[in-house]
Amino acid sequence: MSTFDQVLTLVKDSCTHGEVAVDENATPRAIKISAHDLVEVCQNLHRSPATYFDMLSCITGIDNGAEAGTMEVVYNLYSIPFNIHLMLKVLLSRDHPQVHTVSHIWKTADWQEREIFDMYGISILNHPDLRRILMPADWEGFPLRKDYKHQAYYRNVKVEY
Amino acid sequence: MPTDRVQYISKSDNLVLSEPAKLKAENLHSEEMIINIGPQHPSTHGVLRLEVLMDGEIVKEVVPHIGYLHRCFEKHAENLPYNQVIPFVDRLDYVASMNSEHAYAMGVERMLGIADQLPKRVEYVRVLVAELNRIASHFIAIGTYGMDIGAFTPFFWVMRDREHILRLLEWASGARLLYNYIWIGGLFYDLPVGFEDRCSDFVKYIRPKLAELETVLIENKIFVDRTANVGVLPLDLAINGGVTGPMLRGSGLRFDLRKVDGYSVYPELEFEIPIGEGKMGTVGDCWDRTDVRMREIYESLKIIEQCLQKLISEHKRTRDFDPQALVPKKIRPKAQDFYVRAEIPKGELGFFFRSDGRSDVPFRCKCRSCSFVNLSVLPEISKGILVADLIAIIGSIDVVMGEVDR
């Protein structure tokens, strides 16, 4: 049994709300889970002595565009002792994108989730300090959304791109 | 643009609106005060703003504000073909462009499936220039760190020696800082004739200078007093906070992606991974982090020597060698998600790509920057310290704001 199968079994066991699917078209191999299961899955992956994903390398937000009507959050996990990678994908609706925070499991998620909120307007539930991080606090809109139109003026300065 | 138009109306509350303070004055206890450090302050290494809650001279809380150097890297990348993103990648960590380029090019090559076909000479040249740039970056880190805490001379020494590296890289690529030298599938040019000799001269020249630098700065009693036992980053916090690079190794974990992932030709080269041992104080203090950088320079020199050896023997220059032979005319990876990571001087630089398989433009290109993540542990390790130590800690993290804000 490969390590990926072990991880998959663990993820399947921790999911109670939604479907679990494997995405072979990703490197490292990805598991798609429901947003409601995210915290439970992450907690188990982090704690389980068989996987011990102690490092959250990267959190990525993706906007699939208005036609698709979905957004995604991708978590790249890495386990230092076992040297295994895992990509976790969560699909969100574009109308009310929201996902629970994992910053109580990995501290590094704090700023990275703030960045996702800043760039995509995905609200991170239970986040300790959800503010914009890169853009000014009074900036309008979420820049990395595919249908983003920047504001014409910011503080009387023409916004040019 | 007409000059009579008012371009910016200065109001006293502009800063308050654009970047409001998190700490509120009305919640302060007696004797407490809020100090604002930066964004324009030499010791914050660029445009980092810190909101510091202090009780006398004791720091109680630090709130970093970033984003002053945000240049929309990810938005630009979504609108440009893969090969045209490389100049933007240069401008992320602008003191170690070669390393960032290497990471990016490697990721796209793996997506295209041409990573295994690259000529060995290309790989060795890539590692050679990346390690030269790593030394230059560590020089900046150590030199400016010394200056932060009052040692002025080492800064001039490292700038003088860094100049030699920049001239070498300028000779190879034509630019001093932002090279655009490593291309997807190859290199811009082969190394110029005579580069190998000049480079080995440099290695001979730099060794005694490093010993000098170590004596005057790293082992200096004042430096040790200022940095030992300051800003201790425990290993569990470092891993949990996603910290990588010399900061993680300073906390005592032998973790270097050049060894762990063994990308490019690093498995064929011999080098050690220095870690912090708490020689002067506690494991994971500011001194350990600086010492790790110092010893990494020696290891980089070892790698450079081995690369040069290979580049004049096994993989030497030939008349018909074309470093652009494998550069694809059209870069269109098949639809996939891809995460690539590589070790740059500050830590793990990662790129997350999503390609839709239909265009030459990445659908999503996320940069996981190490300075950003490393900086995020600053509030954790700077509680209950003196404000002078706060400066020492920022310097030891070695942030480049271009990479933090992207």
> In this model, does residue A68 exceed pLDDT 80?
yes
What is the homologous superfamily of the domain B82-405 according to CATH?
A: Cytochrome-c3 Hydrogenase, chain B (1.10.645.10)
**Residues B258-300: tens digit of each pLDDT:** 989 888 899 999 999 999 888 888 888 899 999 999 999 999 9
Model confidence band, residue B231 (pLDDT cutoffs 50, 70, 90): confident
A135 contacts on B by Cβ (under 8 Å): 67, 70
> Domain residues of chain B, as ranges?
82-405
Residue A120 carries which side chain, given as an amino acid letter? Y
**Residues B289-340: tens digit of each pLDDT:** 999 999 999 999 999 999 999 988 888 888 888 888 888 888 888 889 999 9
- Choose the closest CB to A62 out of B364, B368, B376: B364
- Choose the closest CB to B354 out of A62, A133, A157: A62
Q: How far is CA A124 from CA A111, A114, B39, in A?
A: 11, 8, 28
Q: What is the pLDDT of residue B41?
A: 82
Minimum Cα–Cα distance from A80: chain B residue: B255
Q: What angle in degrees, to the nearest 10, is found between the helix axes of B195-213 and B286-312?
A: 160
**In contact, A8 and A42? CB cutoff 8 Å:** no
Residue of B136, B156, B392, B138 whose CA lies nearest to B286: B392
**Residues B144-166: tens digit of each pLDDT:** 999 888 888 999 999 999 999 99
Instruction: Count the alpha carbons within 13 Å of B90 in the hemisphere toward its beta carbon.
Output: 16
ipTM score = 0.90
Judge: A108–B376 Cβ closer than 8 Å, yes or no: yes
Q: What is the pLDDT of residue B89?
A: 92
What's the whole-model pTM score?
Answer: 0.90
- Choose the closest CB to A27 out of B336, B366, B405: B336
A62 contacts on B by Cβ (under 8 Å): 354, 363-364
Handedness of CA B163, B400, B381, B239 (dihedral sign): negative
What is the homologous superfamily of the domain A3-158 according to CATH?
A: NADH:ubiquinone oxidoreductase Nqo5 subunit (3.30.460.80)
Residue B111 carries which side chain, given as an amino acid letter? M
Q: What percent of chain B has pLDDT over 70?
A: 98
> In this model, does residue A161 exceed pLDDT 70?
no
Judge: A74–B352 Cβ closer than 8 Å, yes or no: yes
Q: What is the pLDDT of residue B319?
A: 84
Lowest mean pLDDT across A57-66, B25-34, B149-158: B25-34
Choosing among A73, A111, A117, which should be mutated to test the B contact, i.e. which has the most B CBs within 10 A? A111
Residue A19: DSSP 8-state: -
Q: Phi, psi at residue B145, to the nearest 5°?
A: -65, -45
Judge: B339–A27 Cβ closer than 8 Å, yes or no: yes
Q: What is the pLDDT of residue B166?
A: 93
Q: What is the pLDDT of residue B5?
A: 63
DSSP three-state, residue B120: helix
Handedness of CA B274, B46, B348, B121 (dihedral sign): negative
Distance separating alpha carbons of residues A40 and A11, to the nearest angstrom: 9
Judge: A57–B7 Cβ closer than 8 Å, yes or no: no
Q: What is the pLDDT of residue B406?
A: 85
Minimum Cα–Cα distance from A61: chain B residue: B366
Place of tokens 């959250």: A56
Q: What is the pLDDT of residue B7?
A: 66
- Mean pLDDT across chain B, nearest whole number? 89
B6 contacts on A by Cβ (under 8 Å): 156
Structure tokens at A56: 């959250």
Q: What is the pLDDT of residue A67?
A: 87
Q: What is the pLDDT of residue A69?
A: 87
Number of Cβ pairs < 8 A linking chain A and chain B: 109
**Residues A105-121: tens digit of each pLDDT:** 999 999 999 999 999 98
Judge: A133–B66 Cβ closer than 8 Å, yes or no: yes
> In this model, does residue B1 exceed pLDDT 60?
no
> In this model, does residue B49 exceed pLDDT 50?
yes
Q: What percent of chain A has pLDDT over 90?
A: 24
Average pLDDT over residues B78-106: 91
- Choose the closest CB to B18 out of A83, A138, A156: A138
Model confidence band, residue B14 (pLDDT cutoffs 50, 70, 90): confident
Model confidence band, residue A75 (pLDDT cutoffs 50, 70, 90): very high
Distance separating alpha carbons of residues B273 and B283, to the nearest angstrom: 16
Distance separating alpha carbons of residues A8 and A2, to the nearest angstrom: 10
- Choose the closest CB to B260 out of A83, A111, A156: A83
Model confidence band, residue A1 (pLDDT cutoffs 50, 70, 90): very low
**Residues B101-139: tens digit of each pLDDT:** 999 999 999 998 888 888 889 999 999 999 999 999 999
DSSP-derived secondary structure for B233-284 = --HHHHHHTT--THHHHHTT----HHHHT--TTGGGS---------SSSSTT
A131 contacts on B by Cβ (under 8 Å): 22
Average pLDDT over residues B168-190: 90
Judge: A106–B240 Cβ closer than 8 Å, yes or no: yes
